[in-house]
Chain A
Amino acid sequence: MELRDRWSSRTAFVLAAIGSAIGLGNIWRFPYICYANGGGAFLVAWLVALFTAGIPLMILEFGLGHKMQGSASEAFYKTNKKFEWFGWMAILVGFFIVCYYAVIMSYCFNYAYFSVTEAWGENTAEFFNTTVGLTKGPLTMGGIKGFIFLGLVLSWIFIVLSVWKGAKTVSKVVYATVLIPWFLLIVFVIRGVTLPGAVDGLIFYLKPEFAKLLKPGVWLAAYTQVFFSLSVGFGIMIAYSSFLPKKSDLVNNAFIISMANCGTSFLGGFAIFGALGYYANLLGKPVADVVAAGPGLTFVTYPHIISNLPFWQPLFGVLFFIMLLTLAVDSAFSLLEAVASGVRDKWKVSHRTANLSVGTIALLLGVPLTFGAGYLWLDIVDNFMNKFGISIICMGECILIGWIYGSGRIREYVNSLSEFSVGKWWDFFIRFVVPIVLFFLVLMEILDRIKSSYGGFPRLAEFLGGWLFVILLPILGLILMFIKRKEK
């Protein structure tokens, strides 16, 4: 009897995986990274990274999840019982990420509301600090911000309802959560590139500096961007592919999903740099002086740009934050689904029990981030989970599957199902290229952290918000492995 969740269609699966991969990083990170690493020349390194690391890793996760018919923990358990803890580690990285991701969604909820009246006024930086109640340092917690907390609760209701019956519900929800932000992104691209001065911004975004391709840092930035934007390393793609029917293409889907994710990032750059060019023109400053990334771009610079648009400012404001919310929600619920499916696979609980219990724990862990210092803690956890958590998981996947389980077994499996095959080049990338690049990424990050603490934060805060979580990953993974599983 068929018990496992199944996608309602191939389109639903592809959209769900694209929705998971596309997130806030496509809009607020990629354009800036591109500009800072050689503009158009960076695109060369980025495309090479996509085809030599991103897509091979995506195929690996799809092959593993589909072959083993289980979430990350279950899939690794089925390859070798001793590897289960590693699967839980991947799930835990996603779990820690969703705890703070929901807080960023709460910011978006609040800003969508503020957009109606352009409540941020002229000093958008000051307004953001007041909204999140920013304290002078992470060790000064400050008070809870009621509206951020309310937004967090709303975000979690939104996330949990989206995965209420697992893949069955997600199959319906993704048509809205992927197609709406794509449509809105196109609106913002058209709006951005038709603003006066937009060309200056686009030149900044795309003007190639080919000499930068000789710098290893640019290549590392390209690989980092690809690893962090494809939603590999959290167990999501393993869980999602396990919901595919037995006869399902894996390779072609991996190509479509990875290229759609990167295509969205590339398009996002036009919306962002078009608007930045206009903003620089308005202020009479060079684009370099107004360029921004991350929350600074979204909650400080962009609101100012919205207020200075020629017409329909509140409408564009609301649409911009709805776009961010819909971009974020499918990444968030895919993270929840990756955790919940791990819980369901091991302890055979219902969707409702798994979703509500995981969602409630994540909500409670997110509450401290709604305090004044929450934004600073969020920044630290985000950096460590991205730079160490995902890198270590992806590297471990390549070693465990590429070297111990046998990459050839996964390659033969995916080729037997797919519309076109991958050759032995795939094994080479999985066994050598990806782990070596990731090893250097982790090593460079460790050296950076030895030289100075992240963001200049106190070492104690860096340890509590960063290193502690990294240390907890294998410990919690082992604990979860040793908790007795429930057999059918």
Chain B
Amino acid sequence: MPLSAILMMIITAVILYGGIIICVRIAIKKNRSSMDDRPT
């Protein structure tokens, strides 16, 4: 596989999946009481 294709694959994966991980970590860190997994 060409190096450019591998690079694009890695960059996209890092942005998308890395972005999700960062957002989920922020959500966990903030741990808003009304937004946790307790029934409302």
Contact = CB atoms under 8 A, between A and B. Distances in A.
Contact of B27 (A199, A252, A263): A252
B23 A252 contact: yes
Interface in A333-384: none
Main secondary structure of the interface of A (DSSP, over half): helix
B19 to A, nearest CB: 5
Contacts of A256: 20, 23-24, 27
Chain A interface bracket (under 10, 10 to 19, 20 to 34, 35 or more): 20 to 34
Interface string A218-258: 00000000000000000000000000011111001001100
B1 A246 contact: no
Nearest to A11: B37
A10 B36 contact: yes
A127 interface: no
A43 interface: yes
Contacts, number: 88
A40 B35 contact: no
A203 B17 CA distance: 21
A259 B24 CA distance: 11
A182 interface: no
A247 B8 CA distance: 39
Contacts of A259: 16-17, 19-20, 23
Contacts of A202: 1, 5
B26 A420 contact: yes
A174 to B, nearest CB: 14
Interface string A244-279: 011111001001100110110010000000000000
A47 interface: yes
A6 B17 CA distance: 28
18 contacts: A8-B40, A9-B37, A11-B37, A39-B5, A202-B1, A206-B5, A207-B5, A249-B27, A259-B16, A259-B23, A263-B16, A263-B17, A263-B20, A266-B12, A266-B13, A419-B26, A419-B32, A420-B26
